[in-house]
Amino acid sequence: MTVAIQLRSPRAARTADRRAVLHAAALAAGLAASGLALPAGAAAQAPEPAEVAVGAAARQDLTVTVYNQDLAQVSERRRVSLAAGANRLALVDVPDRLEPASVLLRGAGLSVTEQSFAFDLVTPQRLLEAAVGGPVKLIRTNPETGEDRVFDARLLGISQGPVVEVEGRVETAPPGRIALDSLPPGLRARPTLLAVIDSAAAATRSLSLDYLTGGLSWRADYAAEVDPEAGTLDLTGYVTLTNDSGADFANAHLRLVAGEVARAPGGVVPAQPRLAMEATAMAAPAMPAPAQAVSDRYVYDVPRPVDLRDRETKQIVLLAARGVTAAREYRFTGLVGGQPGPEKSGPVNAEIRLTLENTEAAGLGRPLPGGVVRVYEATGAGTGGGDAGGGALFIGEDRLRHSAVGEKIELTLGRAFDVTGEAHLTAFDRLSNRSYELAREAVVRNAKDTPVAVRLVADMPRGWRILQESAAHESESANRIVWPLTVPAGGEATLSYRLRVDQ
């Protein structure tokens, strides 16, 4: 804002003051004659309350609820000292990704009359833009002595470089540096939530603050070590938290929500350009309490306070399950089916599947948030032929979807080098435009020195029925069936079947 000051002589000032007094008296008399009166305080309006900064040091408690979708809910209480009547508070230490429309302020004996979010932060460019037209300091350094000289100046413009008026002349791109005595109105060093609050009495009260913010997210990652001889695995789950919200959250109670929530278009303030993450920390193991189902989503509570610093990625142990029952199977999908298809399919390598039940009896029995599972297998000896010992060999990874208690978990880890299969169409009879019969034979070979269990998955068309089969099938769904086979070491197994389709 530019303030214009008009200079007047003492005599002119006295004359203007007398005119103002006479005009006010005439106005008051006219109002009184008409039965009206001047409002109380019209002659001298009460000044606005001074702004009081309330920062993180005033926090009494803090809960951060993080979702899987660049979203978090922050709930906190801050202790504030209020005067009776109107109070203007500046709540600092809030994220620059805060969503202003989501802010909820409340407290006993308080009423909020106005709130706004100031995120026009100080940068060299914004500082100069806000100072255009006003007084500034121009500091020039003597190159010989190193002494600074300060000149009073006025900043006229900055569109193509600074233009200043100094010592009665206008200079473009002046040497030296420009300084201001204070921040221009409207600019702030940190994002600030402003609120005008009416208090019934002067008191120190707890102010509850809830809001949504972007810049916070989490994901689950798992590491599984398989013991093939025991048929078990050890599963460790980690939560990877990323804070790019623009604010620190110290000593926070952390809650993690598995599953996405619907968001209306728009909302969260767009992210400003940010620096790369500065730190990665692995927190000490802290097992969250069992997840609670809330509104069709699972919420995980981390039992100890967590520090979430801005521009930091942190990992926290989510679970550690030992001796979980797991089975390895070899699976062919699409090798056989109910469509006429090609006369020959394959040879193809079998998919390696790791299957387990999310039950307490199997060693789990807890909701598992979706994430990538990296699987390792214990080896009995090193690869160098010496005494290097064994270790864990990475054998594949797959994405786990959110898994409720009781669900079957299947992880595809790649393809088996030693287990192959091929199929042949042995007969096809077209009965009508809508019906046919076909026969197919599949051969699975096992080059390993141990027997393997193989499952052949077939997707069937509508109106199918099996007429003949060499091995009994299992139904996975209405139109998907599975033939389980056991293939001997160094041998092969054959499946043959005939089916009819009436559409």
**pLDDT tens for each residue of 269-288:** 444 434 333 444 444 444 45
Residues 168 and 236 in one domain: no
Is the residue at 43 inside a domain? Answer: no
Is the residue at 163 inside a domain? Answer: yes
Q: Which of 347, 378, 402 is the last residue of a domain?
A: 402
pLDDT of residue 292: 52
| One-character DSSP codes across 118-166 | E--B--HHHHHHHHTTSEEEEEEE-TTT--EEEEEEEEEE-BTB-EEEE
Residues 247 and 338 in one domain: no
Residues 173 and 95 in one domain: no
Residues 205 and 307 in one domain: no
Is the residue at 245 inside a domain? Answer: yes
In the chain, the number of structural domains is: 4
Structural domain boundaries, residue 319: 215-260+277-325+369-402
In tens, the pLDDT along 423-447 reads 999 999 999 999 999 999 999 999 9
pLDDT of residue 262: 78
Here the CATH number for the domain that contains residue 206 is 2.60.40
pLDDT of residue 215: 94
Residues 310 and 425 in one domain: no
The span from the CA of 37 to the CA of 160, in Å, is: 55
pLDDT of residue 46: 58
In tens, the pLDDT along 121-160 reads 677 888 888 889 999 999 999 988 889 999 999 999 998 8
The span from the CA of 351 to the CA of 373, in Å, is: 17
pLDDT of residue 41: 44
- CA triplet 189, 192, 194: central angle to 5 degrees? 135
Tell me the whole-structure pTM to 2 decimals. Answer: 0.65
Residue type, 75: S
Is the residue at 8 inside a domain? Answer: no
Residues 346 and 292 in one domain: no
Q: In the chain, which stretches have pLDDT less than 50?
A: 1-44, 268-287, 289, 295, 382-389
Residues 225 and 209 in one domain: no
Is the residue at 438 inside a domain? Answer: yes
Is the distance from CB of 237 to CB of 220 less than 8 angstroms?
yes
pLDDT of residue 436: 96
The span from the CA of 437 to the CA of 420, in Å, is: 27
Is the residue at 256 inside a domain? Answer: yes
Say if residue 95 is preceded by a cis peptide, omega within 30 of 0: no
